[in-house]
Amino acid sequence: MPELHLRRIEQPDPPAPDILADFHGTRVGIEITRQLNGPKKHRESEEERIIEMARQQYQASGSPTVGVSVHWVTHEPRTRTDRQPTSEALASVVAQNVPLLGRCCHLDWSSLPEPLASTVHQVRIDRLIDYSNSDWRMPRAGWFPSVHADDIRTAVAKKERYIDGYQEQCDTVWLLIVAEGFGPSSWCELPNETRQQQYITRFGRLFFLGTLPREAIELSARSPRL
């Protein structure tokens, strides 16, 4: 949003909007909400917790520092009860397959014990360099689904219920919908038909920050008729 020169930017406490700023003599509140796929985000969060637990368990064993890449089976759900058995199995598999310095090894699902065989596609363990600290990571892949006009309306409606509280802190309130792009759960694209829609909302202006390309798009917003 290069034309928006905001001044005196603050991050107040709730129930104020996420950001307060001056814009052309007007005190503007900017509320930020994320555009993401809830079930995918839950799975990603559980996978991250499992990887961190496995890394800590492996490190506690005193085994050599390694680089580990875990490729998950993407359609499998993850639950809280999976954390301990899956992390323990993963730490054990890595400890049992530490390669020599300068080498790496690949373990596909067929060589993994349960519960890994049904939830992990591949584990790559490497000592191609002498790691100062073990580096555990999760390569991500996925496609960019389209954000539809109804998705935008749903995001607006969820935040619009709080707008009276926001307006106590400022003259007008804008909504920024963010596809942050940190994982497949927030990867998306905004097709032309969604961009060209007009959205009825009490928010003064409506923006969407996309993933690819990384650009801020102002959507057409119209106040509801009284």
Q: How many CB atoms lie within 10 A of CB 130?
A: 9
Read off the tokens for 86.
């899956």
**Residue entry with tokens 């917003």:** 221
**What confidence tens digit (pLDDT) does each residue in 26-83 have?**
999 999 998 877 788 888 899 999 999 999 999 999 999 999 999 998 777 788 999 9
Mean pLDDT over 144-166 rounds to 92
Domain layout of the chain by residue ranges: 7-37+145-222, 39-137
Of 141, 151, 226, residue with least CA distance to 190: 151
pTM, two decimals, is 0.71
The reported pLDDT for the residue numbered 195 is 93
The reported pLDDT for the residue numbered 3 is 67
**What confidence tens digit (pLDDT) does each residue in 179-225 have?**
877 777 788 888 999 999 999 999 999 999 987 777 889 999 999 87
**Residues facing 73 on adjacent strands:** none
Q: How many CB atoms lie within 10 A of CB 20?
A: 20
**What confidence tens digit (pLDDT) does each residue in 70-103 have?**
999 877 778 899 999 999 999 999 999 999 999 9
Query: What does the alpha-carbon distance between residue 95 and residue 98 come to, in Å, rounded to a whole number?
Result: 6
Return the minimum-mean-pLDDT range out of 55-69, 115-129, 134-148.
Answer: 134-148
> Contact, 33 vs 158, CB < 8 A?
yes
Residue 2 pLDDT exceeds 50 = no
Q: C-alpha angle 104/109/114, rounded to 5°? A: 115
CA atoms within 13 A on the CB side of 111: 11
β pairing state of 216-222 and 198-200:
parallel
Q: What is the DSSP letter of 81?
A: G
Q: What's the mean pLDDT when you consider all of the chain? A: 90
Cis status of the peptide bond prior to 99, with omega within 30 of 0? no
Q: Which residue has the higher pLDDT, 141 or 87?
A: 87
Mean pLDDT over 168-173 rounds to 93
Query: What does the alpha-carbon distance between residue 47 and residue 42 come to, in Å, rounded to a whole number?
Result: 9
Determine the straight-line distance between the first and last CA of the chain, rounded to whole angstroms.
Answer: 30
Which string of b and e fits 58-97 if b means at least 16 CB within 10 Å? beeeeeeebbbbbbbeeeeebeeebbeebbebbbbbbbee
> Contact, 220 vs 199, CB < 8 A?
yes
